[in-house]
């Protein structure tokens, strides 16, 4: 379960989050929608531990534990995963090397032994086949020269392999065509259940056709200004965000 309580945060003296409160229960998918500049990506970064932001008030609990003081790697080891809006290219590090380093780092955090290479290869192969990630891609430098769709698939592959307790998807639909969107959504849907929660950040209702949310929240100017069921997404698609922009200021 992810609980965000009255979160205030700023960067370079500018307040971006202004008292955001949101709870996502075990097994639920919560969608956050909102206009550009409302602080959606900032929220995902702060929850996952990116440095450079100043949290001035509030708390973030993952399964009852306050994670705000932890560095990003510890949060990941506690089971948090962020699928990036713009997956980062890492020249010189093959995808396979990176995946192995990430999986073993998390196992080490949890006091587990490193995965033997054959077992690791088997797990990666099975998961990548399911997501239509070519073996050739795994030998290339991580995300370097990947298409938008390939990058997003790679994010979902990492999420599958790292088996998090809670996933944040930051505009995973951006830059995807319908086919790629379906593959990515299928990958996410396969991870639903088992008590795993998701926070899905998106501009458009389109993604929510494929990943059906349990709740929808409108974010504007650093706060959640309205919450509702899946029907709220349809309403936003029809009317836009104009009703909420003034309200938050």
Partner 1 sequence: MSATVTRIKSEAETSLESAFAVVRETLPGQAKVRAFRDEAAALFASNGLPTRRVEAWHYTDLRAAMRTMSPLAQPPDEALIARAGASLSPAAEGQVRAVLIDGYFVEALSRGLITSDITMRSLDVTLAEGDHVAIEILSTPNLGRGDAALALNTAFMRGGVEIDIEPGYHAALPIELINISRAERPAAIFSRSMVRAGAGSKFTLLEKHVSLGAEAVQKNDALVLFTSGRSHVEHVFVRERAPDSQTHVHSLLLNVWEDVKLNSYALVEGGGFLRRQIFARLESERAELSLSGSTLLRGKDHADTTLVVDHANPNNSSREYFKHIVDGAATGVFQGKIIVAPHAQKTDGTMKSQTILTGDDAAMYNKPELEIFADDVTCGHGATVGALDPVQLFYAMSRGLPRADAETLLLEAFAGDATDKVADETLREMLITRVRNWLNGRAA
Q: Which residues of this chain interact with partner 1, rule CB under 8 A?
A: 45, 48-52, 71-73, 75-77, 81-82, 84, 87-88, 90-93, 97-98, 101-103, 105-106, 109, 141, 158, 162
* C-alpha torsion sign, points 139, 87, 107, 132: negative
Q: How far is CA 153 from the centre of its chain?
A: 13
Q: How far is the CB of 45 from partner 1 (least distance, A)?
A: 8
Nearest to 15 by CA among 38, 34, 33: 38
- Min dist CB 239 to partner 1, Å, is 35
Closest contact distance (angstroms) between CB of 79 and partner 1 is: 10
Question: Are 17 and 8 within 8 A, CB to CB?
Answer: yes
Q: To the nearest whole angstrom, how small is the minimum distance from the Cβ of residue 65 to partner 1? A: 16
- Closest separation between CB of residue 110 and partner 1, Å? 10
Q: Which is nearer to partner 1, 75 or 217 (CB)?
A: 75
Instruction: Enumerate residues 6+ apart whose C-beta is below 8 A from 183.
Output: 131, 132, 149, 153
The contacts of residue 89 (CB under 8 Å, 6+ apart) are 141, 142, 143, 144, 146
**In this complex, which beta carbon is closest to partner 1, that of residue 68 or of residue 105?**
105
Q: Tokens representing 54?
A: 């100043």
Measured CA to CA, the distance from residue 120 to residue 142 in angstroms comes to: 17
Closest to partner 1 by CB, 162 vs 221, is: 162
> Which residue's CB is nearer to partner 1, number 88 or number 249?
88
Question: Which two structure tokens, joined as six digits, stand for 84?
Answer: 């990036």
By beta-carbon proximity to partner 1, the closer residue of 92 and 246 is 92
HSE-up (13 A, CA, CB side) for residue 150: 17
Q: Hey, how many other C-beta atoms are within 10 angstroms of the C-beta on 109?
A: 13
Residue 38 CA neighbour count, 13 Å, CB half? 24
When the beta carbons of 43 and 218 are compared against partner 1, the nearer one is 43
Least distance between partner 1 and beta carbon 72 (Å): 4
Nearer to partner 1, 162 or 208 (CB): 162
CB of 151 to partner 1, least distance (A): 12
């Amino acid at each position: 379960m992810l609980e965000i309580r009255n979160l205030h945060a700023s960067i370079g003296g500018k307040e971006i989050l202004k008292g955001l409160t949101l709870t996502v229960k075990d097994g639920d998918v919560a969608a956050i929608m909102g206009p550009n500049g409302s602080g959606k990506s900032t929220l995902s970064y702060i929850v996952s531990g990116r440095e450079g932001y100043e949290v001035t008030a509030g708390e973030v609990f993952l399964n009852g534990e306050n994670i705000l003081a932890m560095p990003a790697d510890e949060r990941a080891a506690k089971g948090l995963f962020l699928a990036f809006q713009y997956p980062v290219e890492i020249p010189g590090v093959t995808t396979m090397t990176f995946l192995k380093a990430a999986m073993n780092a998390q196992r080490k955090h949890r006091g587990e032994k490193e995965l033997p290479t054959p077992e690791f290869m088997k797990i990666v192969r099975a998961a990548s086949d399911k997501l239509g990630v070519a073996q050739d891609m795994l030998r290339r430098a991580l995300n370097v020269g990947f298409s938008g769709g390939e990058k997003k698939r790679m994010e979902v592959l990492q999420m599958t392999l790292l088996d998090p307790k809670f996933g944040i998807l930051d505009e995973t639909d951006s830059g995807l065509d319908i086919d790629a969107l379906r593959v990515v959504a299928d990958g996410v849907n396969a991870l639903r259940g088992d008590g795993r929660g998701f926070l899905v950040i998106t501009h458009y209702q389109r993604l929510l056709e494929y990943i059906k949310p349990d709740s929808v929240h409108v974010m504007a100017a650093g706060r959640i200004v309205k919450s509702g069921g899946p029907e709220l997404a349809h309403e936003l698609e029809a009317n836009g965000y104009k009703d909420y922009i003034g309200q938050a200021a």
